[in-house]
A and B are shown apart, each in its own frame.
Chain A
Amino acid sequence: MGSRASTLLREEEIEEIKKETGFSHSQITRLYSRFTSLDKGENGTLSREDFQRIPELAINPLGDRIINAFFPEGEDQVNFRGFMRTLAHFRPIEDNEKNKNAAASEPLNSRTNKLLFAFRLYDLDRDDKISRDELLQVLRMMVGVNISDEQLGSIADRTIQEADTNGDNSISFNEFIKVLEKVDVEQKMSIRFLH
């Protein structure tokens, strides 16, 4: 580290991020330190290359999609607020009880929002539907060259068949939620941040 991280982050900003995301003061300063260490260009924003420099992320088959999730529609840079907003999806739900600011709107790390995050990894064109093509794309990313087109196609067809209830040959968000209703999303899509 070595850069004077928290002096560049004003107290008011920290308070705003706290309200919006639910992270604690020390978590925010620590994550800011991480943000600045990734920001090689030292301009206060991260680009896609900054993320790809992390080897463990570069070898993740869904690495590119995950990186995409941090960037707002059509933009190439993400600032610290955006970074925290995306990370907030991964806060454990139990942590919310400690935060008395039970906001009127749904917290970013609710079960529904976690599922929405995962849904958006599939739904690249943001039309609120996972088409057969989109599903195939994600499958292809995860298996590489090791499975044939036909086999992958049949896997995709089977998956859509099981999930699709209104017969439009694609998976809507509600159908997605139904398929995953037995999965412990709260635990699987949460990261335990230290206090």
Chain B
Amino acid sequence: VLFLTDPDIFSMTWLHFLSVSITVWLTLLFVFTIVPAVLGVSIGIRRLYLTTLLKIFEWATLRMEMEAKEKNQQLYKPYSSGIIVKEPPLSLQQGIQELRGSASCLHSEPEFEMADIFYFCRRGVESIVDDEVTKRFSAQELETWNLLTRSHYNFRHISLRLTVLWGLGVLIRYGILLPLRVTLAATGISLILVLTTLVGFLPSRELRFFLTEKVHVMCYRICVRSLTAMITYHNRENKPKNGGICVANHTTPIDVIILANDGCYSLIGQAHRGLLGMVQRAMVKSSPHIWFDRSEVKDRHLVAKRLSDHVADKTKQPILIFPEGTCINNTSVMMFKKGSFEIGCTVYPVAIKYDPLFGDAFWNSSKFGMVNYLLRMMSSWAIVCSVWYLPPMNREEGEDAVQFANRVKAAIAAQGGLVDLIWDGGLKRAKVKDAFKEEQQKLYSKVLVDTSR
């Protein structure tokens, strides 16, 4: 007891204890995550972790329903299957004819019927209750509760057991998982900076290429583990090859890490400042990425030229592009911008589908900044996703860039089980163009004028 009261010895003991625990921590980290990441081996801890979590979630949901029934309270039912029954979409022509068919034809050629407004009225109110576009810009609702308050819709104190379980979850996620992951991520990023710079100094080009690949893959593997991401790659024989463009649906900036984990890509984007800028400059030293200055981004010809130059050089890696231009919530694929499809090279489509149960990866950029988003990602249970490599596609005879883009989009949507929409992802922030309304008006005018002839 005497030595504990002496401040010097006490602080020494405390420091000693701290250093021992940090060493143990780092060793565990090293052995269980970094070494497998470098060697490309998986121990199987993550799979066990996920199966256990799944059982706990199902138990929690059942428990919640049971308790709610006992207390005679009503639970919120998520509307993953929709709020209303949507009729299969008819064209404007058909819709109006169907409407008029129910009214008796007192005149041989009805041109305008007062009942016509019912068609527009119902369509309008249906879209107010449930539309195809606005719901794509916020995270999707879950059927099973995953012990995160951010995805719970009526978190009241229903049962002591559940609240305790949730509290335990919070402790584990923020106390253990988050620091662990942040450490890993920091390691991964510093390794990328250091190693790519070193490799950039090497004289021999072949050696540089060879080592770059190894360094990139290793660093991305560490990053993937820092998110506890479980990725299943399908059809790897279709992996993108040099001299082509890889095209994928966009849900989150993490998409890049998910794909780069399994291959080397050239990235394309705006040159940033700060930490991100440093990483970008370091990456360029050892492999050809395409970074644009702010001013150059608007110049579509410049962008197209740099893309075609890169693609023409068969020694360069495939470019990774997200044609939607913005993050969508992974329930649908929105309009692909035609720029990358005009170049005329082989396109390798890739479909990425996340399972939101263990952590929703969608980045709602109007709600959360990047740092907030990364924190949420690192304090979720895990990121689970599937990646499908689709067979390469080329533009066909007589097909223009827009049709080609739509064909690729349809293939990706079909594979990923996503809804194929023609709406522009830019509608997240911008208003819809008047041209679409004018189209509707034109169609209706045809109905009026043609039947009166």
Residues of A that sit less than 8 Å from B by CB: 1-2, 4-7, 25-27, 29-31, 33-34, 37-38, 51-63, 66, 87, 90, 117-118, 121-122, 138-139, 142-147, 151, 155, 158-159, 162-163, 171, 176, 179-180, 182-185, 187-194
Contact = CB atoms under 8 A, between A and B. Distances in A.
17 contacts: A1-B139, A6-B154, A37-B134, A37-B138, A54-B133, A61-B441, A61-B444, A63-B437, A121-B117, A142-B444, A144-B441, A145-B441, A146-B445, A146-B449, A182-B102, A191-B122, A191-B126
A1 B114 contact: no
Given A87-B125, A90-B122, A194-B83, 16 more contacts: A4-B152, A4-B155, A30-B77, A56-B133, A58-B437, A60-B437, A61-B440, A62-B124, A142-B120, A144-B442, A171-B114, A183-B99, A188-B102, A188-B118, A188-B122, A194-B85
A118 B154 CA distance: 37
Interface-centre pick from B112, B116, B141 (highest chain A CB count, 10 A) = B112
A146 B133 contact: no
A150 B58 CA distance: 67
Closest A-B pairs by Cβ, 4 of them: A144-B441, A146-B445, A56-B127, A66-B124
Contacts of B155: 4, 7
A29 B76 contact: yes
A60 B115 contact: no
Contacts of A59: 432, 436-437, 439-440
B79 interface: yes
Contact of B102 (A33, A52, A184, A191): A184
Interface string B69-96: 0000010111101111100000000000
Nearest to B437: A59
Interface of B: 74, 76-79, 81-85, 99, 102-104, 106, 111-112, 114-135, 138-139, 141, 150-156, 423, 427, 431-432, 436-442, 444-446, 448-449
Contact of B442 (A34, A57, A146, A171): A146
B115 A37 contact: no
Contacts of A87: 125, 128-129
Nearest to B141: A1
Given A37-B135, A55-B131, A118-B117, A30 B79 contact: yes
Nearest to A25: B74
Contact of B115 (A31, A51, A55, A183): A183
B84 A1 contact: no
Chain A CB within 10 A, most for which of B76, B99, B139, B436: B76
Contacts of B128: 51, 54, 57, 66, 87
Contacts of A138: 117
Given A31-B129, A56-B132, A155 B448 contact: yes
A31 to B, nearest CB: 7
Contacts of B448: 143, 147, 155
A57 B129 contact: no
A162 B48 CA distance: 75
B115 A147 contact: no
A63 B126 CA distance: 12
Chief secondary structure at chain A's binding surface: helix
A54 B134 contact: yes
B114 A179 contact: yes
Contacts of A5: 76, 153-154
A191 B76 contact: no
Nearest to B120: A62
A139 B124 CA distance: 17
B123 A60 contact: yes
Contacts of A66: 120-121, 124-125, 128
Nearest to B155: A4
A187 B124 CA distance: 16
Contacts of A38: 134
A84 to B, nearest CB: 11
Contact of B122 (A139, A151, A189): A189
B442 A33 contact: no
Nearest to A60: B124
A118 B118 contact: yes
B150 A2 contact: yes
A194 B441 contact: no
Contact of B83 (A7, A34, A180): A34
B262 to A, nearest CB: 31
Contacts of A194: 79, 81-85
A143 B82 contact: no
B112 A53 contact: no
Contacts of A142: 116-117, 120, 441, 444
A33 B117 contact: no
B395 to A, nearest CB: 29
Contacts of B115: 180, 183, 188
A86 to B, nearest CB: 8
Contacts of B440: 59-61
A176 B76 contact: no
Nearest to B441: A144
Nearest to A185: B118
B294 to A, nearest CB: 28
Contact of A63 (B83, B103, B106, B124): B124
